Chains A and B, each alone.
Chain A
Amino acid sequence: MRKYWQVFKIALADRFVYRTDFFIGTFLRFTPIVTTIALWGAVYRSADREQIGDLRYGEMVSYYLIVMVSRAFGSMPGLASTLAGDIREGNLRKFIIQPLNYVIYHLHLRMAHKLVYFVMAAIPYALVFWWCREFLPGWPPRELWPICIASLMLSFVLGFLVNMAIGLLSFWFLEVTSFLFMFMVSQYFLSGHQFPLTLLPEWLERVVKFLPFAYETFYPVMLLLGKMDINEGLHVIGGQCAWIAVLAVVVTIGWRRGLRRYAAFGG
């Protein structure tokens, strides 16, 4: 366990090096919120409706704000492509000969990245949420808090496993970057990042809500938005755990099979 603690500490230090880039990046990340507020404001005005897809205007804007929180847990930028790169260029050798599990190593890297992210992004997030306070519906009820926090944590694990599973494809296909882009595009829509899944036609909504992507973003967000009761919340947690179990098996088997095929390219 101590070696992973070292990994965690090194990753922590590495993240603090480029602070300016980080702050600019965090603020830039919120710029689409401006578009969201403007666009949905125009849509609600033009449609002359109280609710669209079960959401009022304020809830709609809050939905996108909370998506940012949920993505802060669940998104793993560059994870799949890092794994793909390590496989393609033969860098995996360096890990195989060490008494270190590559997947667990990366899990610790990501935990460190997330921790630094939460510490450094707290101020920009708080500012943006304060600025948008008139849209927000308020804190979820006290009894839902444990479920909300658990669902965010599980969304982190789920995001990690989904990206790992995609990255593992590199063992079988040498060039996957173009595929990764397709994956990202689909994930953006299917996870409810582009718009709440409740807006979809009913038959499509039913299919999409079953996929792991919905459990990464859409469900935790609806939970935090106060659109679910305890019972529904527990169902979300159950769904997340089920998908995590499935993906954990996929990643474990995929990793073993993949290593057997691995050719360690390069000098």
Chain B
Amino acid sequence: MGTALGRYARIFGCFARNGLVRELGFRVNFVFTVISEILWLGMMLVFVKVIFGYTKNVEGWSGDEYLFLLGTHFLISSLFETFFFGNLQRVSHLIRTGDLDFVLLKPVSTQFLLSLERMDYAALANAPLGLFLCGYAFVQTGASLTAANVVMYALLVCSGVITLYSLMFMFSATSVWLIRQTSASHFWFYLTSCSKYPAEIYKPMVRGVLWFVLTFIFPVLIVANLPASVMVRSFEPFLVVYAVVSAALLLMLSSLVFNWALRWYRSASS
């Protein structure tokens, strides 16, 4: 068990090194990606400024509290994109071209290899941006900082990333049946575009059913909302436990779904 874990850690170290080498080969690209991310953040801030120019709060979230939520959203997306996004996008390509064969043949876990092979360092630049925004917003709200809060925040950020990963991995696995799936990247964009706003705004819709589904069944709404709430609003013990447990369960489920979907995989080459 111990040695297996060590072996995977070594392989992951290898991926991380390769990614760095690849990134250093395209330094200008890196700079441009960072600039466009800053641009994106800047435009989002304009949007927030516009909205809070008309109202002091949205469903109880003040402007500063919302900025903290937005910062958390940036942090979580950044981590997800750094480790998983590019890899998961490739899955449907590998299935379509039949190149999944080569991944299946390797003597390590297929899910591990598919999920982590390529690291995207450019996306990692968003993490400090998000943290910086969080820091600024946190000071503005005047909330008090405790060790317990910070630990819980870190834990919830991690489970948020795992939740997003598991959902998207399962979605990618469906390309075994659908073959072409350009929708995968759109899907990710829409998921995040719904989760970067206060979860409460969805409560009036369809008598709360939508909010319920997106909080408990496809728990994308708690991904960024919950860690932000814990820091600048209120602590909801039930939801916190639910977020961590559901992340773990979804991770296991994603593995089951993938292995089950593989039974339908027919290689594409001759």
Contacts and interface: CB of A to CB of B under 8 A. Distances in A.
B32 A31 contact: no
Contacts of A200: 46, 50
Given A35-B193, A43-B51, A178 B32 contact: yes
Which of B50, B187, B205 is the most central at the interface, judged by chain A CB atoms within 10 Å of its CB?
Answer: B50
Contacts of B197: 35, 38-39
A32 to B, nearest CB: 5
A42 B59 contact: yes
A51 B223 CA distance: 32
Interface string B157-188: 00000000000000000000011111100110
Interface residues of A, number: 36
Contacts of A238: none
A28 B55 CA distance: 30
A239 interface: no
Q: How large is the interface on B (under 10, 10 to 19, 20 to 34, 35 or more residues)?
A: 35 or more
B201 A39 contact: yes
Nearest to A18: B180
B29 interface: yes
Nearest to B178: A20
A185 B201 contact: no
Given A28-B190, A185-B36, A195 B180 contact: no
Given A39-B201, A42-B58, A182-B36, A199 B50 contact: yes
A47 interface: yes
B219 interface: no
A88 B82 CA distance: 26
A178 B181 contact: no
Contacts of A20: 178
Contacts of B33: 178, 181
B253 interface: no
B32 A38 contact: no
B35 interface: yes
Given A34-B205, A35-B197, A46 B55 contact: yes
Nearest to A21: B180
B30 to A, nearest CB: 8
B224 to A, nearest CB: 14
B220 to A, nearest CB: 11
A189 interface: yes
Contacts of B200: 42
A37 interface: yes
Interface in A22-49: 24-25, 28-29, 31-32, 34-35, 37-39, 41-43, 46-49
A240 B143 CA distance: 50
B28 interface: yes
Contacts of A35: 193-194, 197
B178 A34 contact: no
Interface string A165-197: 000000000010111011001101100001100
Contacts of B58: 39, 42-43, 46
A32 B198 contact: no
A200 to B, nearest CB: 7
22 contacts: A21-B178, A21-B180, A21-B181, A21-B183, A29-B186, A31-B194, A34-B210, A35-B194, A38-B197, A42-B58, A42-B59, A43-B54, A52-B54, A175-B28, A177-B29, A181-B36, A182-B35, A182-B36, A182-B39, A185-B39, A186-B39, A195-B47
List 4 A-B pairs, minimum CB-CB distance, nearest first.
Answer: A178-B32, A47-B55, A182-B36, A42-B201
Interface of A: 18, 20-21, 24-25, 28-29, 31-32, 34-35, 37-39, 41-43, 46-49, 52, 175, 177-179, 181-182, 185-186, 188-189, 194-195, 199-200
